[in-house]
Structure 1
């Protein structure tokens, strides 16, 4: 039997400039406790700041906050989508695709998350595909005693609140807590959980320890043989992200945003990208043009 493990606190800050800034959080800093997340990027941009880059061996989830401008996502798997504020898009990179994104129109600020979600090794060689988009009205909100919860994704392996097929048990909550109020979550047996505080100050209380989070801080929990009650108590008006899911527990090898099951698979993914087998996105006469995979 295993008791709850808790990671160290890691504080991240925005890097960049007034046109583009990002906070990057990667699972490699959390000793396996972020699994099935590979990481996420919290971005603010007003220009074409995310240049075309290859993704492989994962799912790419994009979520926009309410203060965001619309956001155009373009990839070589067939996505050409204008994502609206408080909506979510989901693509499975599989053996590889190339993606870029920008505010629409440029000059306005897009503000959101790009979440990198691991997939089992047996799925990493599947063809890339667009899984779907969740509109704002399809994302439930719960209001209770100073706590506002957007249930962006909630799938326990049997039932789900949104039409996206996550293929694995996964929860993603966007939570706002008034000063002095609290939110409680029961982490299922064997699941991992990750919390990132966007703003405010929160005390996280478990049966093994207490952690104090300031804005920009991330902490992860998991590997317990018991249902673990996590209590989030706000010491100021606070906004946080909470992810939880069943870990995949498979070794990955990565180069940038390509995460494969072996060094051989990673080498092949890099070669596929360089040889155009994932396609390319190139700038022609001021517009992005997709060159299909060869």
Structure 2
């Protein structure tokens, strides 16, 4: 057996006052590995919700979904002040340390995912950097089954221009009722799949061709899961197995899903980063740089 599906997970609901609601999924919530994904927050934000905060040794990606309205301002200690709009992806390579804050710029309803990706040890010492991929730069695959945006990585002959430290696939897809699509999963990769809207059936095929279905066991079909709106599932591919395939199927209504997949990272990070943050010289410098930039941004806004 090449692919293993986890149990379906509901995540936990968190609120930041009246301005932000989050459905949070931690890697420890799943019975199978989600590495390199450490944590994912599905958020709806209408006002400032988070104070400036640090990250270290990971990447943090903010994907604004296409139904977002208004603008998200991203301000960080690398002296980048960016405006993120509906459909965009903002990538933060925290590396040796970064301080940032992301908040609505004026009236907005920001709907999206914040994704925390672990880095292997040899990349944790990279200097912090950020990049912004606009929605119009992402390849869009339109078929009779639906529409898939290739946010990161390669899929079905299309490749996103986003440069990531390690290979990473991010798909933002819509399926018509009853339609399906295939997503290959290479050996040693894990995938995290989230249903934003509708029901998504997930069938694990252990080979691209000729796989024999597993026998039914007590408690259900180990090769199949139904992921309802607001739920997630993980899939793991054995490092020494063949390339497997995830068959994604919509139910009776349109389904909106986000899939994130990449090669597993051995060392597990926290959402903030690996190791102790307190007293870390590079983070102290990052905080000072952020505070300087924040003051300049406030002055420009008032001018």
**Helix, strand or coil at the partner of 1:271:** coil
Residues 35, 218 of structure 1: CA spacing in aligned structure 2 closer, same or farther, 3 A cutoff?
same
Unaligned 5+ segments in structure 1 are 261-265, 290-294
The corresponding residue for 1:89 is 90
| CA root-mean-square deviation | 2.5
Please tell me whether residue 278 in structure 1 is matched to residue 286 in structure 2.
Answer: yes
Q: Output the CA distance in 2 between the equivalents of 1:244 and 1:288.
A: 41
Residues 7, 133 of structure 1: CA spacing in aligned structure 2 closer, same or farther, 3 A cutoff?
same
The corresponding residue for 2:263 is 246
- In terms of fraction of residues, the more strand-rich structure is 1
Please tell me whether residue 129 in structure 1 is matched to residue 137 in structure 2.
Answer: no
| Corresponding residue to 2:254 among 237, 240, 248 | 237
- 1:55-94 deviation per Cα after TM superposition (whole angstroms, max 9, x unaligned): 1111111111112121100011222101121111112111
Q: Kindly indicate whether the alpha-carbon contact (under 8 Å) linking 2:5 and 2:32 is maintained by their aligned counterparts in 1.
A: no
Q: CA deviation at 1:286?
A: 10
Residues 288, 25 of structure 1: CA spacing in aligned structure 2 closer, same or farther, 3 A cutoff?
farther
**Helix, strand or coil at the partner of 2:279:** helix
Q: Output the CA distance in 1 between the equivalents of 2:237 and 2:123.
A: 24
User: What is the TM-score with the length of structure 1 in the denominator?
Assistant: 0.85
- 1:254-290 deviation per Cα after TM superposition (whole angstroms, max 9, x unaligned): 3xx3221xxxxx12x222279823315557699499x
The corresponding residue for 1:47 is 47
User: What is the TM-score with the length of structure 2 in the denominator?
Assistant: 0.83
Q: Output the CA distance in 2 between the equivalents of 1:57 and 1:275.
A: 11
Q: Kindly indicate whether the alpha-carbon contact (under 8 Å) linking 2:6 and 2:32 is maintained by their aligned counterparts in 1.
A: no
The corresponding residue for 2:143 is 144
Q: Output the CA distance in 1 between the equivalents of 2:190 and 2:160.
A: 21
Q: Output the CA distance in 2 between the equivalents of 1:188 and 1:288.
A: 50
1:150-229 correspondence runs (5 A): 150-155=149-154, 161-207=159-205, 208=214, 209-224=223-238, 225-229=241-245
Q: Kindly indicate whether the alpha-carbon contact (under 8 Å) linking 1:56 and 1:258 is maintained by their aligned counterparts in 2.
A: yes
Q: CA deviation at 1:102?
A: 0.8
1:8-23 correspondence runs (5 A): 8-12=7-11, 14-16=13-15, 18-23=18-23
**Helix, strand or coil at the partner of 1:74:** strand
Q: Kindly indicate whether the alpha-carbon contact (under 8 Å) linking 1:150 and 1:173 is maintained by their aligned counterparts in 2.
A: yes
Residues 83, 160 of structure 1: CA spacing in aligned structure 2 closer, same or farther, 3 A cutoff?
same
The alignment of Structure 1 onto Structure 2 pairs a total of residues equal to 275
Higher relative contact order (CA 8 A, sep 6+): 2
Q: Kindly indicate whether the alpha-carbon contact (under 8 Å) linking 2:76 and 2:101 is maintained by their aligned counterparts in 1.
A: yes
Q: Kindly indicate whether the alpha-carbon contact (under 8 Å) linking 1:155 and 1:166 is maintained by their aligned counterparts in 2.
A: no
Unaligned 5+ segments in structure 2 are 206-213, 215-222
